[in-house]
Amino acid sequence: MSLLIKNIKELIQVETTPTAYKAGAQMRDLSTIKNAWLLIEGNKIKDFGEMKNLQTSADEIIDAEECMVFPSFCDSHTHIVYYGSREIEYIDKIQGLSYEEIAKRGGGILFTVQHLRDASEEELFNDAWQRLETIKQYGTGAVEIKSGYGLSTKDELKMLKVIKLLKEKSPLTIKATFLGAHAVPPEYKGRQTEYVNLIVNEMIPQVAEEKLADFIDVFCDRGFFTPEETACMLEAGIRYGLRPKIHANELDFSGGIQIGTKYNALSVDHLECTGDEEIAALLSSHTMPTLLPGAAFFLEMPFAPARKMIEKGLPIAMASDFNPGSCPSGNMQLVLTMGCVKYKLLPEEVINATTINTAYAMDVNKELGSICKGKIANVFITKPIPTYQYMPYSFGDNKVKTVILNGKVQ
């Protein structure tokens, strides 16, 4: 089965030689072809070119009618398996309570833990499925999903089994991350070391045995897990084949970035507190610095120094962090806008940060993240838009018209 998209006003993020990611000044490079066609065969990108050179036909033809084609967004950091919402806490936040104060009152992550423990796998699956449907329509074609609202062996496995089922049933490419160290559960209050031991000795071996996760995550930050505890859990994860991808430096200069790079994390995420030492650690690593502007916006935190990081030569990825507490939205188009407005990134930089660089941050860059021959055909056709710069500029409504995943119109 082949599919030809013709009369594309501009084909965005084209690569002839695939790159792993774009860093520093390369983040401004965005290859495009004007008046283009794109040929998909089966689930892969077969070829592309300019309309004036089009010589091929296909089983099915879509006339893009002068709209643009982008590679689907890769959202490399989400927590979309959850139950219940947290708008009450949102009001507390409006009235001035900090993230940590809310957490100390038993709100925050632990509120969602209670709801998730009470929910069935089916209820969790159905709610997460709806969220996947929504983000798909907004142009996301690959998503990483974390556990971390179970915080007991049974409930962490329950969450990961739901993610496994989503992987099997959804057309989106999904990666699973084990985040048992998201917070200390109430039954381990005051016994944090014992909880870390439970993660190391019981949870990680079982998660690995049942092949339920691709990566391991730890919330390494002030008030959550220390760099020493993080190191201990990452070492255990690595012994079982789980590469780290961690939450770091959101609340403080916590040492999380240095621990992440030391253990060859695929990504370190949040990074609001990033200075020269952290930049130096990142520069000598293969770790993708991943920023989550939606969470910084929603929590009114200082924004990560993205401009400085790029000027020092680093790559930047941007993901949604979709979760009920700090970012109840998985709209990657909004992430583009926030990247431009709050980090002062250029449209080319935010497009790279949400496609090829997030593909790297979830280890799918060989298959996704750009329009490149042989990659999986996850693309979207836009509504009529004048320029690709319009994508971050116009915010609030959906600019995606048609979604194609694995070569199939959704």
Q: Which residues bind Fe ion (CB under 5 A)?
A: 321
Q: x/- site string to ligand NIG, residues 2 to 41, per CB under 6 A?
A: ----------------------------------------
Comparison of 76 and 323: residue with beta carbon closer to ligand NIG = 323
Q: Which of 30, 74, 109, 160 binds ligand NIG (CB under 6 A)?
A: 109
Stretch that binds ligand NIG, among 10-18, 47-55, 105-113, 348-356 (CB under 6 A): 105-113
Taking CB within 5 to 8 Å according to partner kind, which of Fe ion, ligand NIG, none is near residue 150? none
Question: Could you tell me if 263 and 220 are in contact, meaning their C-beta atoms sit under 8 angstroms apart?
Answer: no
Question: Could you tell me if 67 and 383 are in contact, meaning their C-beta atoms sit under 8 angstroms apart?
Answer: yes
Residue of this chain nearest to ligand NIG (CB atom): 325
When asked if residue 89 is in the footprint of ligand NIG (CB under 6 A), the reply is no
Question: Could you tell me if 150 and 82 are in contact, meaning their C-beta atoms sit under 8 angstroms apart?
Answer: no
Comparison of 278 and 321: residue with beta carbon closer to Fe ion = 321
Stretch that binds ligand NIG, among 63-71, 104-112, 164-172, 377-385 (CB under 6 A): 104-112
Comparison of 125 and 224: residue with beta carbon closer to ligand NIG = 224
Q: Which of 74, 163, 259, 295 binds ligand NIG (CB under 6 A)?
A: 295
Stretch that binds ligand NIG, among 6-14, 106-114, 305-313, 349-357 (CB under 6 A): 106-114
C-beta atoms surrounding 34 within 10 Å: 11
Q: Which of 325, 339, 369, 392 binds ligand NIG (CB under 6 A)?
A: 325
Minimum distance from residue 370 beta carbon to ligand NIG (Å): 27
Comparison of 258 and 323: residue with beta carbon closer to ligand NIG = 323
In the range 114-173, which residues lie near ligand NIG by CB under 6 A? none
When asked if residue 112 is in the footprint of ligand NIG (CB under 6 A), the reply is yes
CB under 8 Å to 240, separation ≥6 — which residues? 204, 205, 207, 208
CB under 8 Å to 398, separation ≥6 — which residues? 137, 138, 333, 383
Closest of 138, 107, 111 to residue 294, by C-alpha? 138
In 319-353, which positions are buried (b, 16+ CB within 10 angstroms) versus exposed (e)?
Answer: bbbbbbbbbbbbbbbbbbbbbbeebebbbbbbbbb
Comparison of 271 and 306: residue with beta carbon closer to ligand NIG = 271
In the range 215-244, which residues lie near ligand NIG by CB under 6 A? 219
Taking CB within 5 to 8 Å according to partner kind, which of Fe ion, ligand NIG, none is near residue 382? none
Determine if residue 333 is left, alpha or beta; phi over 0 gives left, psi from -120 to 50 gives alpha, anything else beta: alpha
C-beta atoms surrounding 165 within 10 Å: 16
Longest dimension (CA), the chain: 69
When asked if residue 181 is in the footprint of ligand NIG (CB under 6 A), the reply is no
- Between CA 382 and CA 396 the distance in angstroms is 15
Q: How far is CA 19 from CA 70, 284, 345, 370, 379, in A?
A: 17, 19, 20, 9, 18
Question: Could you tell me if 240 and 208 are in contact, meaning their C-beta atoms sit under 8 angstroms apart?
Answer: yes
When asked if residue 323 is in the footprint of ligand NIG (CB under 6 A), the reply is yes
Comparison of 139 and 324: residue with beta carbon closer to ligand NIG = 324
When asked if residue 214 is in the footprint of ligand NIG (CB under 6 A), the reply is no
- Between CA 401 and CA 341 the distance in angstroms is 25
Q: Which of 6, 73, 108, 255 binds ligand NIG (CB under 6 A)?
A: 108
When asked if residue 246 is in the footprint of ligand NIG (CB under 6 A), the reply is no
Question: Could you tell me if 43 and 377 are in contact, meaning their C-beta atoms sit under 8 angstroms apart?
Answer: yes
Cα distance from N-terminal residue to C-terminal residue, the chain: 15
- The encoded tokens of residue 150 equal 């179970």
Comparison of 326 and 378: residue with beta carbon closer to ligand NIG = 326
- Between CA 178 and CA 403 the distance in angstroms is 29
When asked if residue 324 is in the footprint of ligand NIG (CB under 6 A), the reply is yes
- Between CA 92 and CA 222 the distance in angstroms is 21
Comparison of 75 and 250: residue with beta carbon closer to ligand NIG = 250
Contacts with ligand NIG by CB under 6 A lie at 79, 108-109, 112, 219, 247, 250, 295, 321, 323-326
